[in-house]
Structure 1
Amino acid sequence: MASIVVRKITPEQTPLKFEGPPAGERPLYLYLDKERRFIIVSDNILTLFRHPEVDTPLEISPEGISFLLQSGVIPTPRTIFKNLFVLNIGDFAEVKAGKKGLEIFFGHEFLYPASRRNPEVIPDEKRLLELLAQAVLTRLQPGAPVYLFQSLGKDSNTIALALAEAGFKEVTCLTLSTGDRKDESEIAAKIARKLGFPHRKLPVPEKISKRHKDEIIFYFENIPLPCVDGVSLAYPLYATQLDFRGTNIIDGSGNDIYMGHVPRKIEYQRQKIYPHFLFLRLFAEKLPTGNAFQKLARTRTEMVGALGFSYRDARRIYPLAEPVFPFWQAEDRKRRGWDYFDLKADVWGPNFEFDLVMRKVRNFAAVYKAHLIMPWTDAEVAAYVASFPEKYLYDRKNFKNKLFLRQILKKYLGIDSDALGKYSYGFNAYLFLQKMSPEAEEEILKCSLWNPKGVKKVLDRLSILARQGNRMARKLWVRLYLLSAWYNYNRYIKR
């Protein structure tokens, strides 16, 4: 897809059709004028915001807030702002001239179903490594430092291996250091050294200084769109340790949709059972968050990762909240009879991975004016991997993912992913925010987006449960903070 820096569309130029990126590299943003006289299109959201005919700051979308509170993600093409839309993998928009001005009709197609895989393809490890290296090297800003966010995951280490095999050594690997049992940095450093790369740990500070707090506020002031992934709080902390301005940043996100987003075994079993209890949903929505029916009465598309406040609590916090269940129910109907592996890839990739996993690093790059490279979102890489027979990508019986990457890393680096086990990103946003108390709680309570009495009542209950170790309560506590701080400081919001 050719880059669209910025383009203005008027009724005379229609009908037109726009499509999202085939692998997610550059999502396409569309701004519709309030009077529907024109549309501004760009694959760079900051360029779009700076366009003289885009009416910034922008109005908040109650629908967007509703989704973030209840689901933790805003499904495409919606965004947090009114009249601003986004097209990601498989999304398309048809623009036509109507009686009342321009009209946009949105649609979506799953581009990577298992049925399209080529049973005759035999994956070539050298070819994949060459494609990944090419996806990085052809995008580098020459002369600028190069950093790779490296975890113990298969994605980032395969990229590191690809660069080493290509003979490119001018990259520094960066790994979060938590100083606890989830700390990935020691093993990651050994892998980097084995490949001939310098490595640097990015430790979580033991105490939160004024500099850290100021950097976090600066981050919220300047992020283009909100992200309710708690790990996003780690990125402004990184900026207190390294100057990322003008650098190249390589990130390993973006391949779940075409490589197969393998569910946990328990999730796969539950998705067969839970839809039978949807008749309890209206009852669950009238009860406090975390009630026994809330997790049970979910659609298959929600089980991919959507969970949050009950509708009752969402309305207490935000009186303009709308119910999101009808949307997810409709998405289920569109995928009636789908295999869950296909369903999870299609719903997760363009929505959850995009709005959570990738959003946080995209925000980081935008705030600190870094050049972001996501080689797994390269269209050629995606097309190649998507052609692999399923047996090279995942094991349905044992629920193992990325089999080909496991094989490559074991062969070249001696990394046994099975023995290593699953390392989740170790940054604990809830415990970090407790170090900032009482400021973090005050950030939520002073947010003018919320109903003061309602948000205090819900927050008090969450705080009690969170102190008792309730994981969902801690996650939602963090979510409220992230939304509140974004609304309190962000420069792009019309208040």
Structure 2
Amino acid sequence: MVKKIIAEEIKDKIILGGAKTFDKVLYIYLSPDRKYLLYSNSAVALLNHHEVKKPLTLSPKGISFFLQSGVIPTPYTIYEEVFNLSIGDYVVIYSQNGRFELEFFHEFPYPSFKRIKGKKADLEFILFLLVESIFKKIDPVKEIFLFQSVGKDSNTILLALAEAGLKNQTTALTLALPGSKKDESELASEIAKKLGFKHVKLYLPERITSIEIDILEKYFSSIPFPCADGNLLAYPMYQLQINFSGSNLLDGSGNDYYFGHVPRPIEYKRQKIYPKFKFLRPLGEALPSGNTIHKLARSRCEMVGFIGITLVDLLKFYPQAEPVYPYWFSEDEKRKNWDYFDLKADVWVTHAEFGNVIRKVSNFTDTFGVNLVLPWADEVLAEYIGSLDEAEVLDRKNFKNKLPLRKLLLERLEIDSDKIGKFSYGFPILSFFEMMKDKVKEEVLNCKLWERKGIERFWKVLEERAKKDKIWQKIYGRLYFLSAFINHSKYLSSKEF
């Protein structure tokens, strides 16, 4: 559903936003003359609305953040006319001389000081609330798929599906990577079958043909927003193995911030040291990407995982680029007395969890007509877990997160999360890019947004350095994702750059 507000018709200020879970995020379109505003919980419903004037205008700010930080901080987007409100984001809307003015502010809903000391976790109640959330969100007559890893989030959802009596219409899915240490599919299959679920292994193509290229072009033409998460390429490939259209697709993302987002030990140490070098940031931005100064001179907000191309490199092929570090430094200042656990939970969920982790799935479901179900995105569930005594949900000393889920899985399924360890999603992006390197190069060099001679020179350097350096690999992926989006997006079609 899309709602409309007309500037001439409002007398008092209107406040929108304040989402506590990802099912309540908002997307806003402000008309170029600022005389009317549209908003919706659905990005696709909003952007496809007949009163959204197309082509939309690319935002230099959004492009600058996407390539330099790997996220576009809310409320900004890749479009000048479109804003989004993530977890804890609000907008004050008022009319002045018949035109809208917007003022944005932010309040993290689940800081640690709001937890109730001594409040114990009821594992059965958590499972009950998860079941309730699933029933509220699924289309009960449609097939159910669950992206299952060996992690705590998806396997707790699997438990909830079993409790809900949905085994017969549910299939668990796991990416199979034969011969790789990151292959979770065998263990995930054992867990699923132990509970009586069907399990299917998802395989990536052994080579890229016109079929894969066609589905990627369809994907980039349809998605509402670009995404910087390299794992996004896996999802269109899954559609070639299973037709998800019309089904329910469950994903375990979207709960770290109310459980307490526990950083890696090395990250926690670095965030105490690196920001002392912030005064060197202008120098770091004037040097080639990946330089040591640029890595060191980051804000605490950026330490949660935001880094990318330096400004001097970006200006070589995109002269409209803006520096992004002043924004992150100002966000640091707002949180200068915050505990890092709270800071990471807030900054990560608002920008990266929303703009990358969940968007890589929602872009897929939006493109192929799938009902995306995020069982953890439930306000009743979030309010309950967010109120528990901190000692019930995380262990600061040993950097362990989601203690209730660890206990639940150990008791019900004999899954010892400590023994399994932390798996990251194992999509082999570098080998995938290698199979389609000519197409990647074509998309980037043919993108009309980039200054042609500048991007050709930069690409020669990028191709070599991306073979070994992780930051350059991020830049490589982001340039392709953004270029392919700009080249094919139906929301930008006929736009002259």
TM exceeding 0.5? yes
The answer to whether the 8 Å contact 1:23/1:382 transfers is: yes
CA drift at 1:100: 6.0
CA drift at 1:305: 1.2
The answer to whether the 8 Å contact 1:434/1:440 transfers is: no
The answer to whether the 8 Å contact 1:130/1:166 transfers is: no
The answer to whether the 8 Å contact 2:7/2:98 transfers is: no
CA drift at 1:50: 2.4
Which deviates more, 329-338 or 42-51?
Answer: 42-51
What CA distance in whole angstroms lies between the structure 1 residues aligned with 2:265 and 2:416?
21
Partner of 2:431: 431
Q: Match for 2:15: what amino acid? A: K
The answer to whether the 8 Å contact 2:55/2:492 transfers is: yes
Once superposed, which parts of structure 1, at least 4 consecutive aligned residues long, lie more than 6 Å away? Answer: none
Partner of 1:174: 173
Partner of 1:142: 140
Secondary structure at the counterpart of residue 174 of structure 1: strand
Q: Match for 2:370: what amino acid? A: A
What CA distance in whole angstroms lies between the structure 2 residues aligned with 1:142 and 1:111?
31
Partner of 1:160: 158
Which deviates more, 158-167 or 292-301?
Answer: 158-167
What CA distance in whole angstroms lies between the structure 2 residues aligned with 1:113 and 1:190?
37
Partner of 1:444: 444
Structure 2 matches for 1:146-295, cutoff 5 A?
146-169=144-167, 170-179=169-178, 180-295=180-295
The answer to whether the 8 Å contact 1:253/1:376 transfers is: yes
Secondary structure at the counterpart of residue 432 of structure 2: helix
CA drift at 1:165: 2.1
Secondary structure at the counterpart of residue 377 of structure 1: coil
The answer to whether the 8 Å contact 2:7/2:99 transfers is: no
What CA distance in whole angstroms lies between the structure 2 residues aligned with 1:292 and 1:431?
27
Counterpart among 36, 39, 51 of residue 38 in structure 1: 36
What CA distance in whole angstroms lies between the structure 1 residues aligned with 2:97 and 2:325?
32
What CA distance in whole angstroms lies between the structure 2 residues aligned with 1:31 and 1:167?
41
What CA distance in whole angstroms lies between the structure 2 residues aligned with 1:6 and 1:232?
30
Tell me whether 1:492 sits opposite 2:491 in the alignment. Answer: yes
Residues 9, 198 of structure 1: CA spacing in aligned structure 2 closer, same or farther, 3 A cutoff? farther
What CA distance in whole angstroms lies between the structure 2 residues aligned with 1:35 and 1:138?
39
What CA distance in whole angstroms lies between the structure 2 residues aligned with 1:110 and 1:21?
10
- What TM-score do you get using the length of structure 1 for normalisation? 0.97
What CA distance in whole angstroms lies between the structure 1 residues aligned with 2:332 and 2:350?
16
Partner of 1:12: 9
Secondary structure at the counterpart of residue 253 of structure 1: coil
Tell me whether 1:421 sits opposite 2:421 in the alignment. Answer: yes
Which deviates more, 344-353 or 16-25?
Answer: 16-25
Q: Match for 2:104: what amino acid? A: F
What CA distance in whole angstroms lies between the structure 1 residues aligned with 2:194 and 2:229?
32
The answer to whether the 8 Å contact 2:27/2:41 transfers is: yes
Counterpart among 123, 132, 140 of residue 121 in structure 2: 123
The answer to whether the 8 Å contact 2:146/2:251 transfers is: yes
What CA distance in whole angstroms lies between the structure 2 residues aligned with 1:279 and 1:426?
37
What CA distance in whole angstroms lies between the structure 1 residues aligned with 2:324 and 2:63?
11
The answer to whether the 8 Å contact 2:77/2:84 transfers is: yes
What CA distance in whole angstroms lies between the structure 2 residues aligned with 1:39 and 1:9?
6
CA drift at 1:10: 3.0
Secondary structure at the counterpart of residue 212 of structure 2: helix
Partner of 1:103: 101
Cα offsets for 1:215-255 (capped at 9, x unmatched): 11111110111001110000100010111111101110000
CA drift at 1:426: 0.4
Q: Match for 2:146: what amino acid? A: L
The answer to whether the 8 Å contact 1:430/1:478 transfers is: no
Q: Match for 2:397: what amino acid? A: K
Partner of 1:316: 316
What CA distance in whole angstroms lies between the structure 1 residues aligned with 2:458 and 2:288?
9
What CA distance in whole angstroms lies between the structure 2 residues aligned with 1:487 and 1:97?
33
Partner of 1:366: 366
CA drift at 1:408: 0.9
What CA distance in whole angstroms lies between the structure 1 residues aligned with 2:268 and 2:107?
23
The answer to whether the 8 Å contact 1:17/1:95 transfers is: yes
Identity %, equivalent residues: 48
CA drift at 1:56: 2.0
The answer to whether the 8 Å contact 2:23/2:41 transfers is: no
CA drift at 1:85: 0.6
Structure 2 matches for 1:301-380, cutoff 5 A?
301-380=301-380
Partner of 1:77: 75
CA drift at 1:79: 0.7
Cα offsets for 1:439-490 (capped at 9, x unmatched): 22121111111112222222222221222x2222222211111111111111
Secondary structure at the counterpart of residue 146 of structure 2: strand
What CA distance in whole angstroms lies between the structure 2 residues aligned with 1:159 and 1:448?
44
Partner of 1:86: 84
Secondary structure at the counterpart of residue 375 of structure 1: coil
Secondary structure at the counterpart of residue 7 of structure 1: strand
The answer to whether the 8 Å contact 1:208/1:436 transfers is: yes
Secondary structure at the counterpart of residue 283 of structure 1: helix
What CA distance in whole angstroms lies between the structure 1 residues aligned with 2:48 and 2:465?
43
Cα offsets for 1:194-235 (capped at 9, x unmatched): 111101111111111221111111111101110011100001
What CA distance in whole angstroms lies between the structure 1 residues aligned with 2:457 and 2:155?
45
Secondary structure at the counterpart of residue 422 of structure 2: coil
Tell me whether 1:68 sits opposite 2:93 in the alignment. Answer: no
- What TM-score do you get using the length of structure 2 for normalisation? 0.97
The answer to whether the 8 Å contact 2:249/2:372 transfers is: yes
Q: 5+ unaligned residues in a row in structure 1: which ranges?
A: none
Residues 302, 428 of structure 1: CA spacing in aligned structure 2 closer, same or farther, 3 A cutoff? same
Which deviates more, 65-74 or 470-479?
Answer: 470-479
What CA distance in whole angstroms lies between the structure 1 residues aligned with 2:359 and 2:50?
25
Q: Match for 1:11: what amino acid? A: E
What CA distance in whole angstroms lies between the structure 1 residues aligned with 2:324 and 2:193?
48
Partner of 1:296: 296
What CA distance in whole angstroms lies between the structure 2 residues aligned with 1:129 and 1:67?
38
